[in-house]
Amino acid sequence: MQDILEQSTQRKDRIIKSAENEKYLAGGRCFIDEAEIFRLLAQRRDTQAGQVREIISKAMEIRTLELFEAAALLNVHDDDLWDEIFAAAARIKTKVYDNRVVTFAPLYCSSLCVNNCIYCGFRGENQVIERRRLSLEEVAGESEVLAGKLGHKRLVVVFGEHPSSGADYICDVMRKIYGIRVKARRGYGAIRRVNINAAPMEINDYRKVKAAGIGTFQVFQETYHLPTYRSVHPEWTIKGDYLWRLYSLHRAMEAGIDDVAIGALFGLYDWRFEVMGLLAHARDLEKHFGIGPHTVSFPRLEPAANTPFVTESGYAVGDADFKKLVAVLRLAIPYSGMIVTCRENPRVMREVIPMCTQRDASSRVGIGAYSERGEGQEENIQQFILGDSRSLDAVIRDLASLGYITSFCTAGYRCGRTGDNIMGMLKSGKEGHLCKLNAVLTFQEWLEDFASEETRAIGEKLAAREIAEIKARVPRDFPVEMFVMFNRYYERIRSGERDLCF
């Protein structure tokens, strides 16, 4: 054990470059002020309904909330007032993103990990997990299923923290995925956006993955509460360095990656504190770079093989509180995309999807699980157990029945609408208008190429309603010329052309 500790310490010393964080500290202190968060949560316990409604009005203007305003929302106890908050969160989502829900799938490339996070099935000491790293040929096989059989257009590719899964491997994986093109029923399948969930990097490595065509870079802090962070991440591991992880996205943005994603793992500590931490994180990114996170995620702890901590943490978040935390985050960081994942079951998904912009589907969280395994869940290859294992086809059919159009659009990113180029459009609602056109086009493309007969029938009725709504909004939201071009694109897609967009 002593040898393992020494090797881990040496590895940690080689990888972590604390000097890259120093410019972002204020007087040597990070942006998480635990004492201030606790003070605000205690101080705002008696916030009146009128004050809450003023905060809602500010959020409706797509303005980031102050920490004290979020603390007020987190202290609401009146059920009727919570209903107002939920309704406002849904209106904000529609104002910024319309009725679109973007779908994606996770692709796990490695279960090798040098960390030992006590809540994670992939922690290094867990002997019941099958360990491997996908070859580039195996990555291609997984991607061909996702793009050619299921019809996904965007992925979040997940890597454990391990010397074999560094920046060079990540770049090779991205290039391999972008090169996939698979024949579909009428058109073809291809992945158009590769987002990455990986370990924090130094600035030079971030520049490598930027050059390779990364979409959004995700690093979740897991918990913003320092004592809890230290208790669940052993100090001798790389992940045990709180500040290296906390400022990972600052370094990424310094390196030119302008779309970054924050998140917390709810269930490690008090959910109200974590919401405040996420808001503080968004505000500090705004302070240094003028833009906040592209997306915010809020996964809950889920069972994993040989991981008893999940049921022992003492901070499990119930469904009612989960809906509240999603609503507060939507109001607090109103311009950001909000991602709910297949950790949640279909019932919870339906409860929170009015406030969310993205969800995954057909998800598998094991190595080689798409191309090599059956449809059932297998604890010994998965990071955790999923709550919603429905197919993409079933999810799209469900969303359509609720009035949400599934968007596969990635045009904005490829046209340069990222970072500060998109933030102004999001806050004004203009991006939602433009993306509605692309959503209908990509939705029809997926219906033509991948949908079951039942889903296609429901989907085409929804598409017809969407087109009628777009027409009704001419010329207020859509110039006549744009609507004419949209109709031409739509008919060309129905005739077999692909990847037409605004």
Please measure the distance between the N-terminal and C-terminal CA atoms of the chain and give it in whole angstroms: 57
Q: Which helix (H) or strand (E) holds 480?
A: helix 480-494
Please check whether residue 78 lies inside any domain of the structure: no
Give tens-digit pLDDT for 259-299.
999 999 999 999 999 999 999 999 999 999 999 999 999 99
Extract the tokens encoding 248.
């990972």
Q: Report the C-alpha dihedral over residues 490, 492, 494, 496, rounded to 10 degrees.
A: -140
Q: What is the pLDDT of residues 23-48, one digit of tens each?
A: 999 999 999 999 999 999 999 998 89
pLDDT value of residue 373: 87
Residue 330: which H helix or E strand, with range? helix 319-332
For strand 154-158 and strand 193-197, is the pairing parallel, antiparallel, or unpaired? parallel
pLDDT at 410: 86
Geometric angle at alpha carbon 95, from 439 and 191, rounded to 5°: 30
The mean pLDDT value for 251-259 works out to 97
274 domain residue, yes or no: yes
Instruction: Please give the DSSP secondary-structure letter assigned to residue 301.
Output: P
**Token pair listed for 17:** 């470059």
**Total number of domains in the chain:** 1
Phi, psi of 380, deg, nearest 5: -75, -5
User: Tens of pLDDT along 353-374?
Assistant: 999 999 999 999 999 999 998 7
Distance CA 485, CA 160 (A): 45
- Does a structural domain hold residue 30? no
HSE, side-chain direction, 13 A CA sphere, residue 477: 17
Pairing outcome for strands 182-183 and 188-189: antiparallel
- Give pTM, 2 decimals: 0.95
Q: What is the pLDDT of residue 11?
A: 76
Residue 445, in any domain of the structure: no
Spatial separation of the C-alpha atoms in residues 276 and 110, rounded to whole Å: 32
In a domain, 408, yes or no: yes
Higher pLDDT, 464 or 431: 464
Instruction: Choose between 375 and 118: higher pLDDT.
Output: 118
Strand intervals (E) in 308-443:
337-340, 358-360, 405-407
Check whether 428 has a pLDDT greater than 70.
no
Which DSSP letter does residue 476 get? T
What is the structure's pLDDT at 59? 98
User: Is residue 396 assigned to a domain?
Assistant: yes
Residue 118 lies in a domain: yes
Token code pair at residue 351? 């409860």
The pLDDT score that the predictor gives to residue 118 is 97
Tell me the two tokens of residue 282: 């968004």
Give CA–CA dist 296/221, Å, rounded: 11
DSSP code of residue 150: I
In a domain, 472, yes or no: no
- Domain range for residue 170? 5-22+88-427
pLDDT at position 416 over 80: no
Domain harbouring 345, CATH code: 3.20.20.70
